[in-house]
Amino acid sequence: MTAPLLSVRDLTKTFPTRSGMFSRNKLAVHAVDGVSFDIGQGQTLGVVGESGCGKSTTGRCILRLIEPSGGSVVFDGKDVLALDAKGQQALRRDMQIIFQDPFASLNPRMTVGAIVAEAMTIHGLGADAADRRARVATLLARVGLKPEHMGRYPHEFSGGQRQRIGIARALAVEPKLIVCDEAVSALDVSVQAQVLNLLKDLQDELGLAYMFIAHDLSVVENVSDRIAVMYLGRVVEIADAADLYARPQHPYTEALLSAIPIPEPGRRKTRRKLEGEMPNPITPPGGCHFHTRCPIRKLPLCATERPEMKPCSAGHMVACHLRG
């Protein structure tokens, strides 16, 4: 069996905080709480959940843009968390990120050509400046822009075009894995579809692996091989995309699916409705974090014991006392 390109085990991240501006009580936000998953070469893992569930923090911990509190991250056989500064810089070439905000993620004082070529210069790619310029022109054409756009500045482009520049910047160092951190959530629906199609085409052409982070299950449906559903720092269900959409097991996944608008609502099978708000991550509920909103909870079991991930079918895992 081929080893996964990325293997994450029991990843955790806590942020220290206080209960008030002048309080001495030290508390912690449990942003990521024991997350585990694998991503194979050329595959896409969709990571989905409400805002504040820890999905973006997970992606940034994997890249070590944020230092994890615990767990292990192995990328292409390398222990990511054990790398020194030199090793991390080398890793940056293989692991890139596309940020959510196409407006804030590009330096307004740099031309598009300089933005895309910057990483090439850092990693010593290209024989000289002319070669790098030729590479930038090729990259811009590949993402649907024109080579003559190199001399323009980010404010001269639309949101969708800016995100294409961000994609070209990520591709500039020929990575193996790209973390797409809500990469289409700031775009109009029609532009979202265009960018998703572009990412899929690039994956087919270059053999890229994606960790595709989103808050909407409908966005990741057609681009993901597998999907991990996160709630309050934990993965509650992970499965092949087709299996998860056809046979969701966790009540939270069912609730997320029921929120997807469809043309003929009467044809949808009955799904769970999500009630209430996500609890405070500083003081999360005991046991199953979802039990305070769960329509099928069984007390006191769900409030006192943390459910472990268990298989319910081949490749389909769920963390629920009452399912699986």
In total, the chain counts a number of residues equal to 324
Question: What residue ranges in 76-163 does DSSP mark as E strands?
Answer: 78-79, 95-98
Task: Name every residue whose Cβ is closer than 8 Å to that of residue 106 and which is 6 or more positions away in sequence.
Answer: 115, 154, 162, 165, 166
Strands 316-318 and 310-313: antiparallel
Please answer whether residues 258 and 264 qualify as being in contact, where contact means their C-beta atoms are separated by less than 8 angstroms.
Answer: no
- Tokens 């030729």 locate to 134
* Token digits of residue 117: 């070529």
CB atoms within 10 A of CB 289: 26
Q: Domain boundaries in the chain?
A: 6-318
* β-pair type (310-313, 234-240): unpaired
Name the amino acid, one letter, at 48: V
For residue 231, the cross-strand partners are 234
Residue found by looking up tokens 């811009």 in the block: 140
At residue 268, the pLDDT reads 53
**Which pLDDT value is given to residue 19?**
63
Type and span of the H or E element at 85: helix 85-94
Token pair recorded at residue 167: 């994609």
Is residue 68 helix, strand or coil? coil
Please report which helix (H) or strand (E) contains residue 134, including its range.
Answer: helix 129-142
pLDDT of the residue at 281: 87
Burial 301-323 (b: 16+ CB within 10 A, else e): ebeeeebebeebeeebbbbbbbb
How high is the mean pLDDT in each 10-residue block of the chain (324 residues)? Answer: 91 84 75 96 96 94 96 96 92 93 90 95 91 96 94 94 95 96 87 93 96 90 94 97 94 90 60 76 92 93 95 93 87
Beta strands in 44-198 (DSSP E): 44-48, 70-75, 78-79, 95-98, 177-181
6-318 is classed CATH 3.40.50.300: yes
Q: Give the predicted TM-score (pTM) of the model.
A: 0.92
Strand-by-strand arrangement of the 95-98 sheet: 95-98, 177-181, 209-214, 44-48, 226-231, 234-240, 316-318, 310-313
Q: What is the pLDDT of residue 265?
A: 56
**Taking a C-beta distance cutoff of 8 angstroms, is the pair 11, 32 a contact?**
yes
